[in-house]
Amino acid sequence: MPKIVIDDKELDFNQGQTIIQIAEENGIDIPHFCWHECLSVSGNCRMCLVEVEKIPKLVIACSTIAADGMVVHTQSEKTVKARSAVMEFLLINHPLDCPICDEAGECKLQQYAYSHSVGESRFTEEKNHKKKRVPLGPYVMFDAERCISCSRCIRFCDEIAGEKQLTFVQRGDKVTIVTAPGKQLDNPYSLNVTDICPVGALTNRDFRFKSRVWDMSSTKSICSGCSRGCNIEVWVRNNEILRLTPRHNAEVNSYWMCDNGRLNTFKHVNAENRVDGPYLKREGNLIKTGWDEAIAFAVSELKSFGKDEIAFIGSAFATCEDNYIFAKFAKSAWSAKNIDFLRHVKPGESDKLLVMEDKSPNALGAQLAGIQPGKGGLNFEGIIHAIKEGKIKALYLLEDDLAAIKPEYESALKKLELLIVHSSNFNKTTDIADLILPASTYAEKHGTFVNFDGRVQRIRSAVTTEDFDRSLDGFEQSRLDKFGSPFDKWSSPKKMDARSSWRIIAAMYSALGHKIKHTMSQEVFDEISETIPEFQGLNYSVIGDTGAKIKLKSAETKSIKV
């Protein structure tokens, strides 16, 4: 294997690798702006200039192919001088917007100004001025003055999103970025340019001016928009989600996520229509009630039906843990056979990059956790049919707004004598329900989703509910969480009275006289891995941040994909 020496370290590499790739693999940081692992090399920022012995000029590490015996210096006097020269050039016309710039705190230019710049500017002229607020598309705002012309956004559109929507125009220090006349930056992945933009030139219009980045906590989670299961960070300030950003996972979503997932999968968590505590329907009116009363009501009402008159519908939006306890509850406490869930597959609504046809995050997980008809039991369509025929009179429904999907389902649900629903928000289905149990959203609980590919991935609570105290329950902490005083406005955030579905069902289980030993979702998952062969050998620490594959029989993946 050929060898290269970088900063006195002898390293193996594969033929064809560039210096920066080898450095990256071996934990040596070569500063760079324009280079990105997933994009073509453009070599324009000149920040990664390094000294290579026997080559008179400095070379850029991003485009220089390593050769056997090459000796590279990334910290030599010449390199450090060149780097600080590049930083000086980048900063001379860069506006001092940092105090009002969204990027501040996660800005490469700002960080490098601390670590790779001499500290003082010799520039005494007037800075160049360019347009400050240019909407490039529905979601992305452009500030031309902040742009360092690295071309990452252009290359992203060309190479990853597959739509050539951005280009440079003008020349020299007047260079700026535009869309074609009359066109917009509106590809389904447009917001990724705000992540890869090394400065605050491209910002997320949905998030602009909402918060300083250091005032938010960020929690590793999974997007709930489709069965891809893109890895994300959930950004929270004052117990409110302000944005989602993609989190790198080479096996799932690389560095990207779609705009729909980023913008439309968290707003219900902060929404006004959250179900805040259990609600009972009395004489046609919804009345807020206590947890004990609600659970007692559910148990006693369910008892009044024969086992063939009750159906249990799980959810592809709930976690494996929720569905597992739900299925166990249905089977062992009620000997139920009519168990299934609805698959939210929209044929044709997928693309080549990330978006999947299955618009739920956990269809495979729900199925594997036991949400499938028992012997001789009815499947989902069978249950709906039986409800219409009056054979099934009671339905226990987990986290799925069935009434909104088809008028047929809505009219069927209306025929029921008893409808118990777990829901995070009021919706068409809760309008019909006799008992609404407030379910935590994916952002308020721990649990697992299984994506289309059979990868188990963890979601983590980023937002507290009334059950949990941020400071005690292992939440990611923001600066405000750590250092806020009781007099700060963020110290008394709005908290929902909602619980993970499995916890609610567990309480019902206890009310029936069963003993439930689990106190944490990871204990539920441990039981899943002990009892369900596909999950064998897995636990929360094995799954970790980037997930683990389950042992899948091909028949199961097929049934989900179709």
Partner 1 sequence: MERIVLPDIKDLHLIDVYIQNGGYQAVKKAYAMSTDDVIAEVKKSGLRGRGGAAFATGLKWSFMPKTTDKPKYLCVNGDESEPGSFKDRQIFEFNPHQLLEGVLIACYAIQAKAAYIYIRGEYAKWVKLLQKALDDAYDKGFVGEKMKETLGSQFSCDIFIHKGAGAYICGEESALMNSIEGKRAYPRVKPPFPASNGLWGNPTTINNIETITNVPAIINKGAEWFSKIGEPKHPGTILCGVSGHVNKPGVYEIPTGTLLTDVIYKLAGGVPGDKKIKCVIPGGSSMPPLRGDQLEGVKMDADSLKAIGSGIGTAGVIVMDEDTNLVKVLARISKFYHHESCGQCTPCREGAGWLQKVLERIAAGNGVSSDLDLLISIASNIEGNTVCALGEAAAWPVRFMVTKFRQEFETYVKADVSIPVPNKVHSMRATEFPVADIKL
CB 122, min distance to partner 1, A: 6
308 secondary structure, DSSP code:
G
SS3 276: coil
Instruction: Between 173 and 488, name the residue whose CB sits nearer to partner 1.
Output: 173
User: What tokens were used for 276?
Assistant: 């805040």
Amino acid at 345: V
**Rounded Cα gap, residues 470 and 276, in angstroms:** 19
CB 266, min distance to partner 1, A: 35
Instruction: Between 100 and 542, name the residue whose CB sits nearer to partner 1.
Output: 100
Map tokens 């949905």 to a residue. Answer: 206
Dihedral pair phi/psi, residue 287, rounded to 5°: -125, 130
Going along 1-105, which residue ranges are E strands? 3-6, 9-12, 49-52, 59-60, 71-73
CB 48, min distance to partner 1, A: 11
CB 128, min distance to partner 1, A: 7
**Rounded Cα gap, residues 401 and 403, in angstroms:** 6
Cβ atoms within 10 Å of 131's Cβ, excluding its own: 11
CB 78, min distance to partner 1, A: 10
CB 8, min distance to partner 1, A: 24
DSSP secondary structure string for all residues of 145-188 = TT-----HHHHIIIIII-----EEES-GGG-EEEPPTT----ST
Cα-based torsion angle of the residue sequence 156, 160, 163, 164 in order, rounded to the nearest 10 degrees: 40
CB 278, min distance to partner 1, A: 54
Instruction: Between 167 and 471, name the residue whose CB sits nearer to partner 1.
Output: 167
Distance between alpha carbon 58 and the CA centroid of its chain, in Å? 41
Query: Which residues contact partner 1 (rule: CB under 8 A)?
Result: 41-47, 49, 57-58, 60, 63, 65, 82, 85-86, 88-93, 96, 113-115, 117-126, 128, 148-149, 167-168, 170-175
CB 481, min distance to partner 1, A: 26
Contact 516, 509 (CB under 8 A): yes
**Rounded Cα gap, residues 89 and 86, in angstroms:** 5
What's the longest Cα–Cα distance across the chain? 88
SS3 465: strand
Contacts of residues 144-147 at CB distance under 8 Å and 24 or more positions apart, as own/partner, are 144/176, 144/177, 144/201, 145/93, 145/94, 145/95, 145/97, 146/94, 146/95, 146/97, 146/101, 146/103, 146/199, 146/200, 146/201, 147/176, 147/177, 147/199, 147/201
CB 200, min distance to partner 1, A: 15
CB 168, min distance to partner 1, A: 6
Instruction: Between 169 and 555, name the residue whose CB sits nearer to partner 1.
Output: 169
Instruction: Between 63 and 372, name the residue whose CB sits nearer to partner 1.
Output: 63
Map tokens 């976690």 to a residue. Answer: 319
Radius of gyration of the chain (CA): 27
CB 24, min distance to partner 1, A: 19
Cα-based torsion angle of the residue sequence 433, 441, 335, 434 in order, rounded to the nearest 10 degrees: -10
**Rounded Cα gap, residues 246 and 447, in angstroms:** 19
User: What tokens were used for 140?
Assistant: 């992305």
Measure the CA angle with vertex 260, ends 257 and 261; round to 5°. Answer: 50
Instruction: Between 123 and 209, name the residue whose CB sits nearer to partner 1.
Output: 123
SS3 400: coil
Instruction: Between 90 and 397, name the residue whose CB sits nearer to partner 1.
Output: 90
Instruction: Between 1 and 96, name the residue whose CB sits nearer to partner 1.
Output: 96
Instruction: Between 179 and 367, name the residue whose CB sits nearer to partner 1.
Output: 179
CB 123, min distance to partner 1, A: 7
CB 75, min distance to partner 1, A: 16
Map tokens 């913008």 to a residue. Answer: 263
